[in-house]
C-alpha cells in the first residue's frame, strides 16, 4: 500500500502490517440546494418574467442562481442563462430578446460547493396576445373555471363565480325573498330572477358581505379581485375609456344591440348578468354587467366595475353592500 504525503517521499507499508484504515472527507461539498422554478408571470411579445425559490437544504451558501433556458428540454447553465446574484430565497428575472411564438424550456438553478442544482422545468412561449390560457380551477362546489394569465402578471378566472359555498365548505345562504335580501348583514347569493337556468351563462349574484367574508367565496389560493387589481386590468387594456370593449363577450346573443366596441381581446368574455338592488329588485340583465371588488368605499358601499351594451368603456363606481353583483376571482 502506498501513502502519498504532499512534498515528501512515498511511504510504503506492507498490507499485512495495517490493522485498520480510517477515512476522513476533505472539503466535503455538502448538500445540493433545493430549487423550485416559478411559472411565467409578466410577458410581452419578446420578454417574459420567470423566477425561482432557493432552499439551502443545510448545504453551503449559494454562490450563483438564476434561470437557464433553451428551445430544447432540460436546459442547463451550458445553455442561455440569466444569473441573478447569489443566496437563498425567492428571486425573479426578466428574459429579453426572445422570439415571439417560439416554445422555450426553462429551469431555475442554484450553484453551491456541491454543484449546480435545478428546479422543475417550465414551458412557455411569448405572444402578441393580451393573455395566455392557464390552468383551470375548481370552486368548493366542484364548478370548473378556465383561467387567463394576463400580460401584466395577474391571473383571472375567465367566467363569473357560481359557487354556493365558501372555500372551507360552509354554505353561502341562498336568499330568494326580496325583503330578507334587503335586510342581510351576512353573505348571500341569488340567481337572476331566481332562475337557475341563468347560472351557466352568467353565474350567481352575490352581495358584498359574501365577498368580504374571511371564509373566502373564491377557491383556495384565489380571492375576489381588489379595486387595485381591477385598475391594473383596465390600465393594461388601455384605460377606462377603451377597456370595456376588450372585456365584453362579442355579439348580441347575450348583450343587447349594439354591444358597442365588444372585441373580447382580453379573453375575459364578460357577460351582462345584471344586478339585484338593495330592495331585492332584479335589473339590467342583457344590458349591464357589474362586478364587485373586495375593496370598501365606506361603511355602506364598496367599489365595483360596470360594463354597458351602449359603451366600449369601463365604469368604476360603488354600490350598496346589500346589492347583488357578479364576481371574478384572481389567483393569490
**pLDDT tier at 5 (50, 70, 90 boundaries)?**
very low
Cα 17 from chain centre: 69
Residue 168 pLDDT exceeds 90: yes
**pLDDT tier at 47 (50, 70, 90 boundaries)?**
very high
In this prediction, residue 229 carries a pLDDT of 98
Axis crossing angle, helix 227-236 with helix 240-247, rounded to the nearest 10 = 90
State pLDDT tens for residues 282-291.
999 999 999 9
Separation of alpha carbons 269 and 300, rounded Å = 30
Alpha-carbon distances, residue 121 vs 69, 106, 285 (angstroms):
9, 6, 45
In this prediction, residue 278 carries a pLDDT of 95
CATH architecture of residue range(s) 34-124: Sandwich (2.60)
3-class SS at 161? coil
Domain with CATH 2.60.40.10 in the chain: 34-124
For the whole model, what pTM was predicted?
A: 0.84
Q: Which residue has the higher pLDDT, 13 or 216?
A: 216
Separation of alpha carbons 122 and 169, rounded Å = 32
Alpha-carbon distances, residue 19 vs 11, 16, 95, 255 (angstroms):
17, 8, 60, 91
In this prediction, residue 22 carries a pLDDT of 47
Residue 255 · residue 248 · CB < 8 Å: yes
Residue of 187, 169, 146, 147 lying closest to 324 (CA atoms): 187
Percent of the chain with pLDDT over 70: 92
In this prediction, residue 29 carries a pLDDT of 72
State pLDDT tens for residues 192-209.
999 999 999 999 999 999
Residue 265 · residue 275 · CB < 8 Å: no
Separation of alpha carbons 317 and 301, rounded Å = 10
Grid cell 351594451 is found at 309
C-alpha cell at 230: 381591477
Amino acid at each position: 500500500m502506498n501513502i502519498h504525503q504532499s512534498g515528501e517521499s512515498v511511504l510504503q507499508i506492507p498490507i499485512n502490517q495495517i490493522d485498520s484504515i480510517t477515512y476522513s472527507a476533505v472539503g466535503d461539498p455538502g448538500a445540493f440546494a433545493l430549487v423550485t422554478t416559478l411559472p411565467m408571470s409578466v410577458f410581452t411579445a419578446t420578454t417574459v418574467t420567470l423566477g425561482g425559490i432557493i432552499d439551502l437544504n443545510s448545504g453551503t451558501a449559494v454562490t450563483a442562481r438564476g434561470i437557464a433556458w433553451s428551445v430544447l428540454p432540460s436546459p442547463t447553465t451550458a445553455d442561455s442563462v440569466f444569473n441573478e446574484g447569489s443566496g437563498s430565497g425567492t428571486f425573479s428575472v426578466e428574459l429579453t430578446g426572445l422570439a415571439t411564438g417560439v416554445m422555450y424550456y426553462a429551469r431555475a438553478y442554484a450553484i453551491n460547493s456541491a454543484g449546480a442544482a435545478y428546479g422543475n422545468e417550465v414551458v412557455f412561449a411569448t405572444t402578441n396576445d393580451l393573455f395566455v390560457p392557464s390552468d383551470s380551477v375548481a370552486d368548493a362546489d366542484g364548478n370548473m373555471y378556465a383561467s387567463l394569465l394576463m400580460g401584466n402578471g395577474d391571473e383571472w378566472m375567465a367566467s363569473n363565480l357560481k359557487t354556493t359555498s365558501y372555500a372551507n365548505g360552509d354554505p353561502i345562504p341562498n336568499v330568494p325573498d326580496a325583503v330578507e335580501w334587503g335586510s342581510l348583514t351576512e353573505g348571500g347569493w341569488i340567481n337572476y330572477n331566481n332562475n337557475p337556468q341563468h347560472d351557466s351563462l352568467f353565474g350567481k349574484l352575490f352581495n358584498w358581505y359574501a365577498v368580504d367574508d374571511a371564509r373566502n367565496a373564491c377557491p383556495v389560493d384565489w380571492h375576489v379581485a381588489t379595486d387595485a387589481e381591477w385598475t391594473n386590468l383596465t390600465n393594461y387594456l388601455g384605460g377606462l375609456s377603451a377597456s370595456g370593449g376588450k372585456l365584453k363577450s362579442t355579439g348580441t346573443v347575450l348583450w343587447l344591440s349594439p354591444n358597442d366596441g365588444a372585441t373580447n381581446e382580453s379573453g375575459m368574455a364578460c357577460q351582462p348578468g345584471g344586478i339585484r338592488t338593495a330592495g331585492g329588485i332584479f335589473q339590467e340583465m342583457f344590458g349591464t354587467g357589474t362586478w364587485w371588488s373586495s375593496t370598501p368605499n365606506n361603511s355602506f358601499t364598496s367599489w365595483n366595475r360596470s360594463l354597458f351594451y351602449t359603451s366600449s368603456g369601463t365604469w368604476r363606481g360603488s354600490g350598496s353592500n346589500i346589492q347583488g353583483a357578479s364576481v371574478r376571482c384572481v389567483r393569490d
